[in-house]
Structure 1
Amino acid sequence: MLWTGGADFESRGLAVPELAEGDSLVRMTTATVCGSDRHTVSGRRPGACPSVLGHEGVGVVEATNADLPVGQRVVFAVTAVCGECGHCRRGLSAKCSTVAKVGHESARGGWPLSGTYASHIHLPKGVAVVAVPDAVPDAVASTAGCAVATVMAVLEAAGDLRGRRVFVNGVGMLGLIAVAAAKARGAAEVLAFDPTPARGQLALAAGADASLDQGDPPADIDVALELSGADAGVRSCLASLAIGGTAVLAGSVTPSPEVGIDPEWLVRGWRTVTGVHNYEPRHLRQAVDFLAANGSRLPWEQILSGPIKLADLAQEFAAPSDGLRTVVSISD
């Protein structure tokens, strides 16, 4: 289903490429609609056009020149990386100097079948692939490759959460996963805030100890996770940090107003502020493991809407369904 600009999609056949060494062809079964794709279609963020959008999905290996069994159900990373540049060698492959991204590449370029809104996706050698256990449903597994893996990277940056007080600002898909994952990792208390009351209720259903009415948490937070991208949320997270506290910012992926930091407050308080964008292959494995071990505790019936058919994608972008993720059934 090719995105041709604005709100327009059209069904079009694309040639299946010859697989190079390390490449795989995956027959898609399910995709989910991420908010960033909605931003691309609405014009809030730039995107290659025409292109096959979609970067969350699950499918079955149909052909491969990699060390993967044909017929294996898999999820895959959002990045295709070289593995050789300076960033890759130092463990920051998400910032590979030649990075290409699933669901972000032009259909007229060298990677036309790059997105999940299609019957098949071509996965070049540099895309991490992880097998999915049978116990994890397709719609749940689909979220691993973007939202869940990103949260795993965020929590790694946050450090050991055992016995700590955690604040999650922004309860979209990432925030909801962060609430559940923080509890699973032993956080003593998880507080959440989202300006939409229904999302606050979702946070409670995911295991939050409290959903705050205002975006100003107590000033004794050990770990603050900013997932909304709002400058007010960044300020709240910083202001909440206790002595030795850590703030991890992951929502600020578009230009926003500057937020000031008092260096003396940072230094005397032994506080840490860091950012996370995308993730490493290990985080995708951790995402699948989290969903297998703890995914059933999340309120998926409230998180997911649909399923819709691939042919209904244009209507979905024009009039979004309720829920944090809309499921697209590719195999029907």
Structure 2
Amino acid sequence: MVWSGVGLPLECVAVPGVLLRTGDVLVEVELATVCGSDVHTARGHRPADKPLVLGHEQVGRIVAVAEQSYSANGMPLRMGQRVVWSVTVACGTCSRCRRGLPQKCHELAKYGHERMQRGWELSGGFATHVQVRAGTAIVVVDEQVPATVLAPASCATATVVAALGSASALVPLAGATVLVTGAGMLGVTACAMATDAGAVVVVSDPDAARRQLALAFGAAAVADPGAPYESPTGVASVLTALQRAGAAEPTIALELSGAGSAVQTALDLIGIGGVVVLVGSVSPGEAVLLDSESIVRRLVTVRGVHNYTPGDLAQAVTYLSGAWHRHPFSALVGRTFHLSQADAALALAATALHPRVGITSQQPATLG
């Protein structure tokens, strides 16, 4: 299903043939999920060349393999394997790839973001099949894990792994108090992962239903960023109450909403020697006041995370394979639409009623 511009319905386009090059695989899509960036692209909130096939969170099954095709851990790929794959295609040889930053490759291509072109028409998850190109991290996944759990691994879960890895390189998660701003798909995933790692997690979100969802994913407490400063439900008050009960001051903050006010909250409330990881700010927004003296005196580190490495994706799959029994990940996909109803899926995703909405060309009842 091809997007051709803001306000235009997605168009069904047939691809008569696929030429797999060395290292490519052809995957039949089992389930794709609609990421917020898909909605932003469709609504014109971010620049994109068109026409393009949206979708970069998906799980599927290999139906054709070119020679010399390997998974992220170096194992040969074969037909019939169930897989997820990275949002990015990297060259592996440029200066950024050699620095360990393949997600910022000089020759970067991204599934669901590139203009549809001859020879790579099947470049996004809103399709029956995706041509997964050489240079893409591919991870074989367990047959028993539901598709609704696995599809978001290719963006949301792997990004959270990268964010937590960036934070824990400076501050160990075990015993830390972690502030998570934003309780969408990334926020509740971060809440579960940090809690499982031994952290005390406080989640801030203006939506009451999302705050309740965060509690189901292990949050020790939730806060309303819209509450008056002195309110017991405000972010500062909730953090103070936890400290009085014996918790440490917040030394990790993960900003996952993209709201300027949330970025400001994270910078203002992080404790001595803490780290603020900014993830949600992927679109232009309001300016944020940076009090450089306060940053210096509190020994605060500010880091940015955008996309992830192949290792992050592999770790995300490993985590989900065990965590879906402990946390209600399978319930985060609120509704699944047939591929022909992709416009309706995008419209529902735009309401943020559900953390994720699914799209499939299969019968929904057959999904794992």
TM-score by shorter chain over 0.5: yes
Which residue of 271, 276, 289 corresponds with 1:242?
A: 271
Q: Does 1:278 align with 2:289?
A: no
Which residue of 127, 132, 135 corresponds with 1:123?
A: 132
Q: Give the Cα separation in 2 of the matches to 1:330 and 1:297.
A: 29
1:35 match = 36
Q: Give the Cα separation in 2 of the matches to 1:284 and 1:47.
A: 25
2:18 match = 17
Q: Which secondary structure does the structure 2 equivalent of 1:237 belong to?
A: helix
Q: Give the Cα separation in 1 of the matches to 2:298 and 2:348.
A: 47
1:327 match = 358
Matches for 1:138-149 after TM superposition, within 5 Å: 138-149=147-158
Q: How far does residue 108 in structure 1 lie from its aligned partner after superposition?
A: 3.0
Q: Which secondary structure does the structure 2 equivalent of 1:243 belong to?
A: coil
2:340 match = 311
Q: Does 1:210 align with 2:221?
A: yes
Task: Indicate how the Cα distance of structure 1 residues 277 and 100 shifts in structure 2: closer, same or farther if over 3 A, else same.
Answer: same
Q: How far does residue 135 in structure 1 lie from its aligned partner after superposition?
A: 2.5
Identity over aligned pairs, percent: 44
Q: How far does residue 276 in structure 1 lie from its aligned partner after superposition?
A: 0.2
Matches for 1:1-332 after TM superposition, within 5 Å: 1-7=1-7, 8-65=9-66, 66=69, 67-108=76-117, 110-159=119-168, 160-187=172-199, 189-214=200-225, 216-217=235-236, 218=239, 220-300=249-329, 302-320=331-349, 322-332=353-363
Q: Give the Cα separation in 1 of the matches to 2:348 and 2:218.
A: 30
Q: Give the Cα separation in 1 of the matches to 2:219 and 2:274.
A: 19
Q: How far does residue 6 in structure 1 lie from its aligned partner after superposition?
A: 2.2
Q: Give the Cα separation in 1 of the matches to 2:104 and 2:346.
A: 29
Q: Give the Cα separation in 2 of the matches to 1:234 and 1:319.
A: 27
Structure 1 or 2: larger strand share?
A: 1
Q: Is contact 1:202–1:299 with CA below 8 Å preserved after alignment?
A: no
Q: Is contact 1:56–1:116 with CA below 8 Å preserved after alignment?
A: yes
2:366 match = none
User: TM-score, with normalisation over the residues of structure 2?
Assistant: 0.86
Task: Indicate how the Cα distance of structure 1 residues 110 and 256 shifts in structure 2: closer, same or farther if over 3 A, else same.
Answer: farther
Amino acid across the alignment from 2:204: F
Q: Which secondary structure does the structure 1 equivalent of 2:325 belong to?
A: helix
Q: How far does residue 110 in structure 1 lie from its aligned partner after superposition?
A: 4.8
Q: Give the Cα separation in 1 of the matches to 2:131 and 2:347.
A: 27
Alpha-carbon displacement from aligned partner over 1:272-323 (angstroms, at most 9, x marks no partner): 1110000000000011011011122333464212221001111222344731
Task: Indicate how the Cα distance of structure 1 residues 109 and 266 shifts in structure 2: closer, same or farther if over 3 A, else same.
Answer: farther
Q: Give the Cα separation in 1 of the matches to 2:270 and 2:119.
A: 46
Q: Is contact 1:154–1:276 with CA below 8 Å preserved after alignment?
A: yes
Q: Give the Cα separation in 2 of the matches to 1:301 and 1:128.
A: 24
Taking only aligned residues, the RMSD between alpha carbons, in angstroms, comes to 1.5
Alpha-carbon displacement from aligned partner over 1:203-257 (angstroms, at most 9, x marks no partner): 0011101111236333731100000111100110011111111110000011122
User: TM-score, with normalisation over the residues of structure 1?
Assistant: 0.96
Q: How far does residue 329 in structure 1 lie from its aligned partner after superposition?
A: 2.1
Alignment size in residue pairs: 331
Q: Which secondary structure does the structure 1 equivalent of 2:164 belong to?
A: helix
Q: Is contact 1:105–1:112 with CA below 8 Å preserved after alignment?
A: no
Q: Give the Cα separation in 2 of the matches to 1:328 and 1:254.
A: 25
Between 1:2-11 and 1:278-287, the stretch displaced more is: 2-11
Between 1:68-77 and 1:303-312, the stretch displaced more is: 303-312
Alpha-carbon displacement from aligned partner over 1:82-116 (angstroms, at most 9, x marks no partner): 00111100001111011000111111355221101
Amino acid across the alignment from 2:4: T
Q: How far does residue 261 in structure 1 lie from its aligned partner after superposition?
A: 2.4
Alpha-carbon displacement from aligned partner over 1:106-152 (angstroms, at most 9, x marks no partner): 11355221101111100111110001112211111001000000000
Q: Which secondary structure does the structure 1 equivalent of 2:235 belong to?
A: coil
Gaps of 5+ in 1: none
2:229 match = none
Q: Is contact 2:345–2:358 with CA below 8 Å preserved after alignment?
A: no
